[in-house]
Structure 1
Amino acid sequence: MHTMWKGTISFGLVNIPVKMHAATENKDVKLRQLHKECKSPVKYEKVCPVCEKEVKNEDIVKAYEYAKNKFVVLDDEDIEALKKEQEDKAVEIVDFVKLEDIDPIYFEKSYYLSPNEGGSKAYSLLRSALNDTGKIGIAKMIIRSKEQLAVIRVYENSLVVETIHYPDEVRSVQDVPNIPEEVKIEAKELDTAKMLIEQLTTEFEPEKYNDDYRTALLDLIEEKKNKEQTETATDKPVPDNVTNLMDALQASLERAKSEKPKPKQPKQPKRKAKTTAPKKKAAT
Structure 2
Amino acid sequence: MAPRAYWKGSLKLSLVSCPVVLYPASTSVEKTRFHMINKETGNRLKQQMIDAETGDVVESNQKGRGYELKKGQYVEIEKEELEAVQIESNHTIEIDSFVPRDEIDKRYYNHPYYIAPDGKAAVDAFAVIRDAMKDEDRVALARIVLTNREHVMAIEPLGKGLLGTTLRYPYELRDEEDYFEGIKTPKVTKDMVELAGHILHKMAAHFDPSKFKDEYENALKALVRRKASGKPIKAAEPEERPDNVINLMDALKASLKGKGATKRRAQAPASRRAPARRTSRKAHRSAARHRKAS
TM-score by length of structure 1 reads 0.75
Write the distance in 2 (CA, Å) between the matches of 1:228 and 1:181: 51
> Using CA pairs below 8 Å that are at least 6 residues apart, which structure has the higher relative contact order?
1
Match of 1:222 in 2: 225
Match of 1:114 in 2: 116
Query: 1:1-284 alignment to 2 at 5 Å?
Result: 1-26=3-28, 27-82=30-85, 85-86=87-88, 88=90, 90-117=92-119, 118-176=121-179, 179-227=182-230
Note closer, same or farther for the CA distance 1:105–1:222 as it changes in structure 2 (3 Å cut). same
Match of 1:274 in 2: none
Higher share in helix: 2
Q: How far 1:89 moved relative to its partner?
A: 5.0
- Flag the structure with larger Rg: 1
What's the secondary structure of 1:7's corresponding residue? strand
Note closer, same or farther for the CA distance 1:200–1:185 as it changes in structure 2 (3 Å cut). same
Q: Deviations over 1:143-177 (max 9, x none)?
A: 01111111111123320110010111111112226
Write the distance in 1 (CA, Å) between the matches of 2:110 and 2:90: 24
Write the distance in 2 (CA, Å) between the matches of 1:74 and 1:15: 35
Ranges in structure 2 where 5+ consecutive residues have no aligned partner: 233-294
Write the distance in 2 (CA, Å) between the matches of 1:182 and 1:70: 47
Percent identity (aligned): 24
The more displaced of 202-211 and 219-228 is 219-228
Q: How far 1:228 moved relative to its partner?
A: 7.1
Preserved CA contact (<8 Å) 2:90 2:145: no
Preserved CA contact (<8 Å) 2:8 2:21: yes
What's the secondary structure of 2:194's corresponding residue? helix
Preserved CA contact (<8 Å) 2:8 2:91: no
Aligned residues: 229
Write the distance in 2 (CA, Å) between the matches of 1:3 and 1:203: 33
Write the distance in 2 (CA, Å) between the matches of 1:86 and 1:55: 36
Ranges in structure 1 where 5+ consecutive residues have no aligned partner: 230-284
